[in-house]
């Protein structure tokens, strides 16, 4: 197995790292404080080809691979998990299902909008009573002549109040459970589409999360994504890929916390020497390093399998489970090294801790990941 990045992957990593240091890091604390969507930086990421980076060049994208996309999210999330989240959602949860399931006309129109057109994408599956169990969704889509009429609501939608293009899942035949779910490409300009509540969250304050409401929303018939009744399959396929992005985000958060803690403990002197010189501190850093490097291998494995067109469901779940739980574990340990200062907003580790928690929840909770992993282990 070759563990080396290609020349293109290395260049993307360096470019995003430089952008993160120069453009994202200086405003990360303010973004968290004000809860403002980092619009200018997202526009710049469109310009650099990071938004929609895995979309083929024929549809306006950069034609990069899934590992490159994971590297970009990891670098951004080291200093601002909100920015990493916006990018991961746009690329993995909106562009990807259209690329994999769209018609030629849909790909030409919407993938170009999501790349060259600088339109932001979102993915709308979760409902108030349908989280992990998508079969309990009550949003409906009724075919009327040349269009569908959507009614219902979605909650906790990342990019929700800034999204222009949304992949929405609705029941076309509620009697069939998951086999009655269909997927649609919805534009925010469609009649009957509304943005509801803007969520106030523990973390990811710069990531725009909102409720979406459909009141007799008119969606052209040609905006059905895939076939009627095949939406659940599209959703699960998309979430498999999306978990790689969240794993990369969690990995980046852990790395960022570790780097901040290393810098601080080298300069913080107690009992006559920097606290980085104490053995218990060094042992904690050793554990962090093992978690980061092993997590990186899991992320890279899943991304590489996805790009190769091979099964990656279990590998993506393992990567997300491992990196998200370590993000929580080691941001807590990093904060502890700062003592009382870590509990204040003078240092970014308290923000990193708040941001880390969501990685254990969205794109499938840790409990769901364990179900996915064990169901793919041929235990019966």
- Clarify whether 363 is annotated catalytic: yes
Which residue among 74, 259, 363, 367 is the active-site one? Answer: 363
Backbone angles phi, psi at 340, to 5 degrees: -60, -30
Q: What is the CA radius of gyration of the chain?
A: 21
Tokens of 301: 């494995």
What is the full DSSP assignment across 69-134? HHHHHHHHHTT-HHHHHHHHIIIIIIIHHHHHH--HHHIIIIIHHTTTT---EEEE--BTTBSS-G
Beta strands in the chain (DSSP E): 121-124, 140-144, 147-158, 165-171, 181-187, 193-198, 209-220, 224-225, 269-270, 273-274
User: In a 3-state reduction of DSSP, which class is residue 72?
Assistant: helix
> d(Cα 86, Cα 75) in Å, to the nearest integer?
13
Instruction: Give the pairing of strands 147-158 and 209-220.
Output: antiparallel
Q: Which two tokens stand for residue 39?
A: 């619009």
Under a CB-based contact definition with an 8 Å cutoff, are residues 216 and 244 in contact? no
Annotated catalytic residues are: 363
């Amino acid at each position: 197995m070759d563990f080396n990045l290609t020349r293109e992957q290395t260049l993307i990593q360096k470019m995003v790292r430089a952008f993160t240091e120069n453009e994202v890091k200086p405003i990360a604390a303010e973004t968290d404080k004000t809860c403002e969507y980092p619009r200018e930086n997202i526009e710049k990421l469109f310009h650099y080809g990071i938004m929609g980076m895995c979309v083929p060049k024929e549809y306006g994208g950069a034609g990069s691979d899934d590992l490159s996309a994971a590297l970009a999210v990891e670098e951004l999330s080291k200093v601002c998990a909100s920015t990493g989240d916006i990018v991961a959602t746009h690329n993995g949860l909106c562009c990807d299902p259209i690329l994999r399931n769209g018609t030629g006309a849909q790909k030409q129109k919407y993938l170009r909008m999501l790349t060259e057109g600088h339109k932001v994408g979102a993915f709308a599956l979760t409902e108030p009573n349908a989280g992990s169990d998508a079969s309990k969704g009550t949003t409906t889509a009724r075919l009327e002549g040349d269009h569908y009429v959507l009614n219902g609501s979605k909650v906790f939608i990342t990019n929700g109040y800034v999204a222009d293009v949304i992949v929405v899942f609705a029941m076309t035949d509620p009697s069939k459970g998951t086999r009655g779910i269909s997927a649609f490409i919805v534009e925010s300009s469609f009649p009957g589409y509304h943005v509801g509540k803007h969520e106030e969250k523990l973390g990811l304050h710069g990531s725009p999360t909102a409720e979406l409401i459909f009141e007799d929303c008119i969606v052209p018939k040609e905006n059905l994504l895939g076939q009627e009744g095949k939406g659940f399959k599209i959703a699960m396929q998309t979430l498999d890929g999306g978990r790689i992005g969240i794993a990369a985000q969690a990995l980046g958060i852990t790395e960022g916390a570790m780097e901040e803690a290393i810098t601080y403990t080298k300069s913080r002197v107690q009992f006559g020497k920097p606290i980085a010189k104490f053995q218990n501190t060094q042992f904690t850093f050793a554990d962090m390093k093992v978690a980061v490097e092993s997590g990186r291998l899991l992320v890279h494995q899943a991304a590489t399998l996805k790009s190769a067109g091979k099964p990656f469901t279990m590998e993506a779940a393992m990567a997300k489970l491992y990196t998200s739980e370590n993000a929580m574990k080691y941001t807590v340990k990093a904060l502890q090294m700062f003592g009382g200062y870590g509990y204040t907003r003078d240092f970014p580790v308290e923000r990193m801790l708040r941001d880390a928690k969501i990685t254990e929840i969205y794109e499938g909770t840790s409990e769901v990941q364990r179900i996915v992993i064990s169901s793919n282990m041929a235990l019966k």
